[in-house]
Amino acid sequence: MSSNEKAETLKELSASYIINYRKDSSQGELAHALTRVGLGFDHILDIGSTAGIAQLFKDIKLKGLITIIGFLTSADSDKQPPLMDALNYICIVRGVFVGSKQ
């Protein structure tokens, strides 16, 4: 989440926790601190952030679901882990394609 306006929208939709990746650089630690027994999140919606999949793996719990919606070209693909890392974290990574704003 990158803005207060977006955070308010998610609160209205009953999101349990909202982390602003621009303000919270230690979001992995925060993800575990906020959840029961420090397990991490059940489901992460990543909406075009540049944080990268490696960070999402740190935030998700075992058998969790990461949904990546959209893609920003500013993300450095050379620094992203291989998709097979999802096996190490025992989670599901789902990609959702969205069209351009244009």
20-44 pLDDT, tens per residue? Answer: 777 776 677 787 888 878 888 899 8
Q: How many CB atoms lie within 10 A of CB 60?
A: 25
Task: Provide mean pLDDT across the span 82-99.
Answer: 82
pTM of the model: 0.71
With bands split at pLDDT 50, 70 and 90, how would you rate the model's confidence at 54? confident
Q: How far apart are the C-alpha atoms of 11 and 102, rounded to whole Å? A: 28
Q: Check residues 32 and 48 and name the one with the higher pLDDT.
A: 32
What domains can be seen in the chain, in order of their start residue? 4-96 (3.40.50.720)
